[in-house]
Each structure stands twice: as C-alpha cells, then as structure tokens.
Amino acid sequence: MQHRNPIPTVDIIIEISKGIILIKRKNPPFGWAIPGGFIDYGESAEQAAKREAKEETGLDIEDLKQFHTYSASDRDPRHHTISVVFNARANGIPKPDDDAADIGIFTKDNLPEQIAFDHSKILEDYFNKKY
C-alpha cells in the first residue's frame, strides 16, 4: 500500500499601510493570492513564511503570528495541501518577485474579484476576526 500525504504550505497575510498585500500569480492557478508557498524539507513553518514573504514581496516581515490552519482537500486544485496561515506586518514598498506577476495593497472593501485557491475564505475569516 502506498501512502500519500498532504503537502505542507504557508500563507502570510501581510499588513501594510492600512491594508494587506496580495500577489497576482504568474502561474496556474491564476488570480490574486495571499503570499505563500511550500515548506521546504528541514524548514519550519515560521522560516518558510519569512522566506516566502521575502521572495514574493521583497519585504522582511515582523510580528509573525499564526492565524489558522486550512486543510480542505480541495483548497488547491493541483493537490491536497495543508496551509499554516500567519499574519505579520511589514514596512516599505512591496515589489512583485518570484512567481508574482503583480502586487497590490487591498482592504476588506476593495478586494479583487479573481482570488485563487481558498484565499477568499481565508480573507473573510481574517477580516471578520479583525473587525
């Protein structure tokens, strides 16, 4: 019997300038997304969050706190992932990098229409908790 396990990932809700950062994905699945990615072997979720935030936004994050874990088997159309979602703060000017085609700062009231993965649900949970 062959065992298959979900793939561990992180997503980071980065608070900046009275909004949050979303990236527009270069690769499928397309749409806007919370910065994040796969946890590398030997890396903690916290280390992965800092690395992914830097790779995708060019920013160093601070005040990293775990928000929630999302694990629905259909949350990523490519494969089953489990994401540890963090929130953090950053200062500076975000720049799209790595697999980000574009970057933007959004609020609860001006989120883009096309949001990838289950990130609409994550953002809904985040904004409901924050306000």
List domains and CATH numbers for the chain. 7-130 (3.90.79.10)
Residue 69 CB contacts under 8 Å (≥ 6 apart), including other chains: 82, 83, 84, 85
For 74, the token pair is 């259909």
* pLDDT tens digit at each of 131 positions of the chain: 788 999 999 999 999 988 999 999 999 999 999 999 999 999 999 999 999 999 999 999 999 999 999 999 999 999 999 999 999 999 999 999 888 999 999 999 999 999 999 999 999 999 999 87
The Cα 110–Cα 130 span in angstroms is: 16
Prediction pTM value: 0.95
The length of the chain, given as a count of residues? 131
